[in-house]
Amino acid sequence: MDVVRVGVTAPIGFKASGLFCGIKKLRKDIALVVSDVPAVAAAMFTTNTVVAAPVVVDREQMALGGKIRAIVVNSGNANACTGERGMNDAWTMVKDTAEALGIAKEEVLVSSTGVIGQYLPMDVVRPGVRAAAEHLGPDGSGAAEAIRTTDTFAKEAAVRCAIDGTRVTVGGMAKGSGMIAPNMATMLAFVTTDAAVTREVLAAATKQAVDRSFHRISVDGDTSTNDMVAVLANGQAGNKLIDTVGGPGYDAFYLALEHVLITLSKMIVMDGEGATKFVEIRVTEAASEEAAAQVARTVANSNLVKTALHGEDANWGRILAAMGRSGVTFDPTKVEIDFGDVPILRSNYRIEFSEEAAKEVLSCRDIAITIRMGAGDASAFFWTCDLSKEYVAINANYRT
Amino acid sequence: MDVVRVGVTAPIGFKASGLFCGIKKLRKDIALVVSDVPAVAAAMFTTNTVVAAPVVVDREQMALGGKIRAIVVNSGNANACTGERGMNDAWTMVKDTAEALGIAKEEVLVSSTGVIGQYLPMDVVRPGVRAAAEHLGPDGSGAAEAIRTTDTFAKEAAVRCAIDGTRVTVGGMAKGSGMIAPNMATMLAFVTTDAAVTREVLAAATKQAVDRSFHRISVDGDTSTNDMVAVLANGQAGNKLIDTVGGPGYDAFYLALEHVLITLSKMIVMDGEGATKFVEIRVTEAASEEAAAQVARTVANSNLVKTALHGEDANWGRILAAMGRSGVTFDPTKVEIDFGDVPILRSNYRIEFSEEAAKEVLSCRDIAITIRMGAGDASAFFWTCDLSKEYVAINANYRT
């Protein structure tokens, strides 16, 4: 499995573009990803009860069960909480894209990210869609650029793997830096692959990989109305069709997909609003993977844990207190905690760490926290960041 | 119902003391509350799986079903995550208190708050307990002072009501400023009353009043290992025994108890670490009180809502997005939101507020947010504060 440089256009048969049309101020704000041939698609959406218009449209499109050829995305305006007019605007983006590309409107997904509660400026969006269709090319970085909001860098990844001797590529791009939480808070990810895979298998692989990537990151515990992950598989690699979960070719494909999703997920956390630390939480010796993930999630979302990490203090008490309110039952006297390679807490509340050694681990930008629950052999990873004054500043003074 | 000045010693037959014994640096750190006669007791404890030694001890004491005469509390050290030695230390505090007061050890509750994971300095705690017993008096403010940790002010309340022509008083003190969340995060409250009431009725009234007060406040969503609310009723007012929920005298007593608990709860939020705003969230037109409380809780705990309030921005989109992830099902097009008296969002996403009017409401220290769900006629209140850079500073740099 080799890591390759580019994103959504890394697999065979995908083109993309990213342009400035005028929604934002002087930064790229419209992106288009197109497959040369109709592609099998899988998509997952926000679990928020309040959903933006594009999510409603995409759910309908996916429910048709057909293939998808294009994804059009704008940034700067989320087209959320905008009622009937917002729905019409989302459908107009779909139709304009289909028309510009000469494909059926059932083959288009749409996505928006940015400010909530304002109407899309369709007078600039519609010419923007047409221009994006005219500028499609083999370089996906413009598209990754154009889906950014408060992101400080464009997020792209891609890997290649061999399936039955055939080279298969998975590529992707994502955006998201604030409002990140389990259940895919304001987070968009668009993934492409030239693998030949059935719709059912792609859906199953996507669900599991999302559970282990985008559902395992947290910046601030808030969830957005617009989140989505969409995966297009156009079969252009020419591998033998992967038609069974766990069957021939599945594992190699799944690992490549999971790798891209985890890489994009980690980039989102690294770009967390105001983040100065990237923290990997590894919960092991849990009774089940769900229990491990739930404990890791609660620790990762604790403001007290996140501020202690910001202050570079080895506060295992806050970690244990957060674990205790996770809803998972466990014996606290069995818990052991390491920061990096430094043992912090041992069973029966034994504490014998050197403040200097802990401080050295915590002074790094990347910090790994290992929590052994002593309750079984399941484990889960979770990625989060610290909570800084800068986060407050970004989210309190975003208007100025 | 009159509000009176003092706290736990306002009702007839209670004495208290608060002293410095040496756990903290030069600030009072040990408190004692004593009833002249054995009192009926009700207590509620943290729901955290990780519980401190004093909570384990008190659960055992309460399970005996007898009466209580004294509550001994230290601040500066939570006696949490300290294993067998911590349990012995908590029992020693109970026994020393009983001995100093000449009462049975089954009549004593114990509580600790402060740093987690360090042993209690029993060489100063034990003489501290004896000194507290010698300094009992009619002024409860020393005790309220002595249970503080990061609290910036002592929290006391009391009210009088008439039950069948007899004057009954309820008084109380509380501590808590960080780690405040639903489910009684690091929060202690000790309430006294001279009402004559049965144990069963006191337990029921306490549970309901706690559900509507301490379970309706949030500073940072974290929950502690030491929380408890204890209520002692010594019957010295001489009212006719209140022996039925909803029966004679119950409503007046319940309202007085709820008033004290809500007053103490609000004080905790007002003293929230780094808080510059006190925010009352009123959810109305909900399908049930539970749904209203759950929606209010999710909005109150949203870092994005709290930072927007800190920045004094009327961001109804963040409120609606938080409602959407609360787990409560509702129709977002029916939701209406007011800030103070200013209509912000109307049904079908109509927005027509003046930025100036909204700004004026948001620039105040006290802010009321009303959310009408259009789904029924139940309602709930919730109290929270904003999230400031100061919160991060307090919780990141608490060591220095």
B352 has a chain A CB within 8 A of its CB: no
Chain A: residue whose CA lies nearest to B299? A222
Per CB-CB distance under 8 Å, the chain A contacts of B393 are 389
Which helix (H) or strand (E) is B362 found in, with range?
Answer: helix B355-362
Could you tell me whether strands A336-339 and A342-345 are parallel, antiparallel, or unpaired per DSSP bridges?
Answer: antiparallel
Q: Do residue B49 and residue A329 have CB atoms under 8 angstroms apart? A: yes
Q: What is the pTM of this model?
A: 0.83
The answer to whether A85 touches A118, Cβ cutoff 8 Å, is no
Per CB-CB distance under 8 Å, the chain A contacts of B114 are none
B396 has a chain A CB within 8 A of its CB: yes
- Does A107 have pLDDT greater than 90? yes
Angle between helices A316-324 and A289-301 (to 10 degrees): 120
CB burial string B380-393: b at 16+ within 10 A, e below: bbbbbbbbbbbbbb
pLDDT at residue B50 in the model? 86
Angle between helices B83-101 and B53-63 (to 10 degrees): 50
- Does B1 have pLDDT greater than 60? no
Facing residue for A332 by CB, picked from B81, B311, B332: B81
pLDDT at residue B176 in the model? 84
Q: Do residue A392 and residue B310 have CB atoms under 8 angstroms apart? A: yes
A241 has a chain B CB within 8 A of its CB: no
Measured over the CA atoms of residue B191, residue B194, residue B195 and residue B197, the dihedral's sign is: positive
If pLDDT is split at 50, 70 and 90, which confidence band does B182 have? very low
Q: Do residue A311 and residue B349 have CB atoms under 8 angstroms apart? A: no
The answer to whether A351 touches A316, Cβ cutoff 8 Å, is yes
The answer to whether B112 touches B226, Cβ cutoff 8 Å, is yes
Mean pLDDT of chain A: 91
- Does B308 have pLDDT greater than 60? yes
What Cα–Cα distance (Å) separates residue A393 from each residue in A224, B363, B388? 20, 17, 8
Instruction: Read off the pLDDT of residues B129-150 as tens digits, 9 standing for 90 and up.
Output: 999 999 999 988 899 999 998 8
A348 has a chain B CB within 8 A of its CB: yes
Task: Select the residue from B218, B225, B304, B359 to test the A interface by mutation, using most A Cβ atoms within 10 A.
Answer: B304
Q: How far apart are CA A45 and CA A60, in angstroms?
A: 12
Question: Tokens representing A88?
Answer: 């019409």
**Poorest-pLDDT segment among B1-10, B57-66, B72-81:** B1-10
Task: Select the residue from A392, A398, A399 to test the B interface by mutation, using most B Cβ atoms within 10 A.
Answer: A392
Over residues B81-89, mean pLDDT: 93
Per CB-CB distance under 8 Å, the chain B contacts of A317 are 80-81, 115-117
Q: How far apart are the first and last CA of chain B?
A: 45
Instruction: Read off the pLDDT of residues B153-169 as tens digits, 9 standing for 90 and up.
Output: 999 999 999 998 999 99
**Poorest-pLDDT segment among A50-54, A273-277, B236-240, B252-256:** A273-277
Q: Do residue A222 and residue B178 have CB atoms under 8 angstroms apart? A: no
- By percentage, how much of chain B surpasses pLDDT 90? 71
- Does A181 have pLDDT greater than 60? no
**Active-site residue, selected from the candidate residues A186, A223, A225, A284:** A186
Nearest CA to CA, how far is B250 from chain A (Å)? Answer: 34
pLDDT at residue B362 in the model? 92
List, in order of start, the domains of chain A with CATH numbers: 2-270 (3.60.70.12), 278-396 (3.10.20.340)
pLDDT at residue B355 in the model? 84
Of the ranges A139-148, B142-151, B188-197, the best mean pLDDT one: B188-197
Those of residues 84-143 in B touching chain A at CB distance below 8 A are 115-117
Q: How far apart are CA B384 and CA B319, in angstroms?
A: 14
Over residues B99-121, mean pLDDT: 94
Those of residues 54-73 in B touching chain A at CB distance below 8 A are none
- All residues at 6 or more sequence positions from B246 whose CB lies less than 8 Å from its CB, including other chains: none
Q: Do residue B311 and residue A395 have CB atoms under 8 angstroms apart? A: yes
Instruction: Read off the pLDDT of residues A231-282 as tens digits, 9 standing for 90 and up.
Output: 999 999 999 999 999 999 999 999 999 999 999 999 988 887 778 899 999 9
Per CB-CB distance under 8 Å, the chain A contacts of B48 are 321, 324-325
Over residues A61-67, mean pLDDT: 97
pLDDT at residue A182 in the model? 36
